[in-house]
Amino acid sequence: MDKRRRLVIASGNAGKLREYRELLADTGFELVAFDSEVEEVGETYAENARLKAETACSRSDLPALGDDSGVEVEALGGYPGLRSARLGPTQEERTAELLKQLEGKPRPWSARFVCVIALAVPEHPTQFFEGECRGEIVPEWRGRAGFGYDPIFLVPGTGKTFGEMPPEEKQLYSHRARAVQTLLESGALDRLSAPA
């Protein structure tokens, strides 16, 4: 097996994995899912993305991509941000908890999604790529597509939440798609697959 063509996606989040499979489909890499199961003890998205990527890389001896992401709501001072996955035991409860915290606050509830990708390659310094998507939290669940907070995140100019968009439409705007675009434009993946 040619090790140079495999790329580990260090995540156990089914929604993220599905998106990486779509976003990296044309790169020619065989994508291998691996949940690093690290505790997210970092104080930045980049630190957590690094922990996930470097753990997966050292365990597999393959290049690995780690993703840390979250939603930041202006009226809550950027909360939940790094803690987006920890507002409750299920996503439904996390979404309900976020809306509860926003109750009574004047709208629009401006927000942004942030995604930081860390690319860890054996014997190389880890590289980082970031993307953001600005939008608005809406008080009612709209649509069933995507994952996480997608049904309450309205994308300006589209009249739709991410929950109402098919995957290819979400990719036109999403923080993750933008981070992947920066990664692709950097040439870092081409260098991995170039003949030694």
Choose the catalytic residue: 26, 61, 68, 190. 68
Q: Of the two residues 4 and 99, which places its CB atom closer to ligand IMP in the complex? A: 99
HEC string of the chain? CCHHHEEEEECCCHHHHHHHHHHCHHHCCEEEECCCCCCCCCCCHHHHHHHHHHHHHHHHCCCEEEEEEEEEEHHHCCCEHHHHHHCCCCHHHHHHHHHHHHCCCCCCEEEEEEEEEEEECCCCCCEEEEEEEEEEECCCCCCCCCCCCHHHEEECCCCEEHHHCCHHHHHHHCHHHHHHHHHHHHCHHHHHHCCC
Residue 63 or 70 with smaller CB distance to ligand IMP: 70
Query: Minimum Å distance from CB 113 to ligand IMP?
Result: 6
Nearer Cβ to ligand IMP (6/132): 132
Beta carbon nearer to ligand IMP, 112 or 176: 176
Residues that bind ligand IMP (CB under 6 A): 13, 40, 67-71, 84-85, 113, 146-150, 162, 174, 176
Q: Work out how close the CB of 17 gets to ligand IMP at its nearest, in angstroms, rounded to a whole number.
A: 11
In the complex, the smallest distance separating the C-beta of residue 80 from ligand IMP, rounded to whole angstroms, is 8
- Is 35 one of the annotated active-site residues of the chain? no
In angstroms, what is the minimal distance from the CB of 57 to ligand IMP? 17
Question: Catalytic positions, please?
Answer: 68
